[in-house]
Structures are given as C-alpha cells and as structure tokens.
Amino acid sequence: MVKIEGKQKLKISLNIVALLLFIGLIVYLSIRYTPQVRNLFARRHQLKGLVEEQGAYAIVAFICVQVFQVIVAAVPGEIVQVAGGYLFGTFWGAAFLIGGLIIGSLVAFFAARLLGFRLVKTFVAAPKLAKLLGLISSAKSELVLFILYLLPGLPKDVLTYIAGLTPINPWRFLALAILGRLPALIVSCYIGASLEQENLWAVVVVSALSVILLLGGWLFKDKILEKARRLKL
C-alpha cells in the first residue's frame, strides 16, 4: 500500500475543496443568472436603449457577460457575439468581446491547470476528453489547437479547459485561441450590427455563408486535422 504523507494529504484535500467550490460556483451562476441573461437578449430593443443610457457601465456589464459565457457556457457564444454587434457595432462589439474572451479564457485555462482532470471530467465525457487531449498534445499541438479554434461548430469553451491540462505556454495558448476565434467573432458581430441597422439582406447572405462554413467544418474537420498533424513545418 502506498503511504501518503501529511503534506500531500493536505494538498489533495485542498484541491478537492477548491474543485468542489469551483463546480458549485458554476452551478450557482448557471441557475441564478442564465434566465436573466436570456431574457435580456430576448428584449434587445429595450436593451439597446438601456446600453445607450448607461454608457461605460453597460460596457463593463457586457464584458462580464462574455466572461460568464466562457467560464460557464450557460449561453451559446454566438448569441453573445451577435448581441455585441447589435449593441455596439462591429468594431467595438468585437473589441469588447475580445476583452471578455481574454479574461474568461485565462480563468478557465488556469482553473483546469490548477484543479486538473477532476474538474474537466465533470462536464466532458471521457472519450471526447481523451480524443481532444490527444489532438492538442501531439507534435503539431499548437497548429492543431489553432485549427480547432478556427473551425466552426466545435466546443471552443470546453477546449479552453482541456488546453489547461497540457503543458502549452498560457500566453501562446491565449494568442492561438483569440486569433482562431476572431473570424467567427467578427462575422457574428457584423450580423448583429446589420440586424440593428435592419439590413436584412446582409444578415441573410452572411448567415447563409456561415451555415455553409459550419457544415463544411463539421464534415471535414477530421481530414483537416489529420493533414495538420502530418504537415512538415
């Protein structure tokens, strides 16, 4: 039988307590605030007026919503991104979203790095976790990670937690994650801004192209990733 020293027992106990507290916080935030967030986005016209009245406070609140979405994933990221374009326009919406993504991604990344597999296994099925972890732990891990974030239709926020389990440098990870998410983020913001301006033709065309890319990414993602792993750099 393997004996565990007192300090190691204390470390394990503290990790378990931290894990339970973090999971409890996620559950609480999901139950407590998801209905309010969904209600706000459903009443977008009133929300637009409220944002204009609140000024900087509304910007801070919106960035907090983006942080919340990345950490908890209670609201689909596309909804928040479209709302950013609707409320602030394409440029500023994207800028505020990137700020929220940076904060939320770092929190999720370091939470996984500190708490380990016990945290990630609570919301990622073991086969899926093993597959994604294998992909981003390969020799071409950084290229594969960038492609995973670039391809539409993949669980980006879950991937952030999984990346925290690998030895990748946090700042290189952050750069790859933000750059990979940037094209879809800008497109979503543009759709939101077009909705606010009632430019429905732009919404229809861009949305249709996005759906085509989404389907293409979903159908060919395995082939794309396989080519990336075989690529000689």
Q: Is residue 181 part of a domain?
A: yes
Higher-pLDDT residue of 40 and 195 is: 195
Q: Over the stretch 171-180, which tens digit does the pLDDT of each residue have?
A: 999 999 999 9
Q: Is residue 81 part of a domain?
A: yes
Number of domains in the chain: 1
| Separation between Cα atoms, residue 210 and residue 184, nearest integer Å | 8
| Separation between Cα atoms, residue 185 and residue 88, nearest integer Å | 14
Mean pLDDT of 36-47: 58
Q: Is residue 67 part of a domain?
A: yes
| Separation between Cα atoms, residue 110 and residue 95, nearest integer Å | 23
Q: Is residue 78 part of a domain?
A: yes
pLDDT value of residue 232:
46
Q: Is residue 86 part of a domain?
A: yes
Task: Give the structural domain span for 195.
Answer: 6-230
Mean of per-residue pLDDT scores for the chain = 76
pLDDT value of residue 127:
74
Contact criterion met (CB below 8 Å) for 120 and 210: no
Mean pLDDT of 107-128: 78
Q: Is residue 1 part of a domain?
A: no
Rg of the chain in Å (alpha carbons)? 19
Helix (H) or strand (E) holding 62: helix 56-72
**pTM for the structure as a whole:** 0.71
